[in-house]
Amino acid sequence: MISDKQKKFLKDEKRKRFFITFCQIFIGIFIIAIWEILARLNVINTFITSSPSKIVMTIWNMFVTGNLFNHIWVTLSETLIAFFITLVVSFVISLIIYKSSTFAKIIDPYLTIFNSLPKVALGPILIIWIGANKKSIIAMAVLISIIVSIQSISVGLKNTNKNRIKILKTFGASEMQILKYVVLPSNVKIIINACKINVGMCLIGVIMGEFLTSKAGIGYLILYGSQIFNLTLVMSGIIILLILSIILYEIISIIEKHLDF
């Protein structure tokens, strides 16, 4: 049986969540409404700021002509490829760092130096080495996300509960068994959080790559809109990018909720 205090607590929590959600939605709608009203009253210059109605119409026109999903698919496919490459490579390197303290000490200064380097500066080099194509865009996204992923996952692996590892070693467990039954289960949340960061970083990397070399994609839309001074197209691309990033983040969050820790 649930006590009256528990019922009251659950009811208060439900009201609190509702209030927070309501405020979030209200603030968003209020900002959009004020933006549209100021645009219609010519208080703001729509050539510079555009307006919500123009953005919606631009996105709708791209949908009708069939260009919208083509640009979304190009960016989405590049992001997912970069994401999985980053996840696999960073996980393998993190495991090596975890298993070998010597390797960890050797690679640590290089990770720090490379992480501080603005990756966009490598764009022209990637284009020369790989070519002005999809591969260079994916490479840019991987370079932007992989160092952060390695650092976050490797720190999690190093901080695994040492007492649990000692207990398993006492019972004669192998390194593979320790990895399977202690290290990996203890760091599922760390890996999921790294995935949340990676998907955003990969998306940023893909957009930066599309700025440098692309004939399609959301980054291409934004760049093309700025070149022809079409701020509505630029903002439409940003809105599409925002929606896409939210969807990708929520997919990982749903996966996290369905995993048993």
Measure Cα distances from 137 to 18, 28, 80, 193 in Å.
Answer: 41, 33, 12, 24
Amino acid, res. 52: P
Measure Cα distances from 90 to 49, 111, 205, 236 in Å.
Answer: 41, 12, 16, 33
The pLDDT of 25-36, averaged and rounded, is 88
pLDDT at 260: 57
User: pLDDT (tens digit, 9 = 90+) per residue, 90-146?
Assistant: 888 888 888 777 888 888 888 888 877 777 777 778 787 877 778 888 888 888 888
Any idea where the domains of the chain sit in the sequence? Answer: 1-44, 50-257
Cβ contacts of 146 within 8 Å, gap of 6 or more: 86, 89, 90
pLDDT at 5: 67
- How far apart (Å, rounded) are the C-alpha atoms in residues 157 and 143? 22
Quote the distance between the C-alpha of residue 101 and its chain's center. 30
Helix axis angle for 52-65 and 231-257, nearest 10°, is: 80
- What long-range pairs does 181-184 form, CB within 8 A, spacing at least 24? 183/98, 183/157
User: pLDDT (tens digit, 9 = 90+) per residue, 223-258?
Assistant: 888 888 888 888 888 888 888 888 888 888 888 777
pLDDT at 1: 56
Q: At 185, is the secondary structure helix, strand, or coil? A: helix
Q: Which two tokens stand for residue 52?
A: 């919500």
Q: Which fold has domain 50-257?
A: MetI-like fold (1.10.3720)
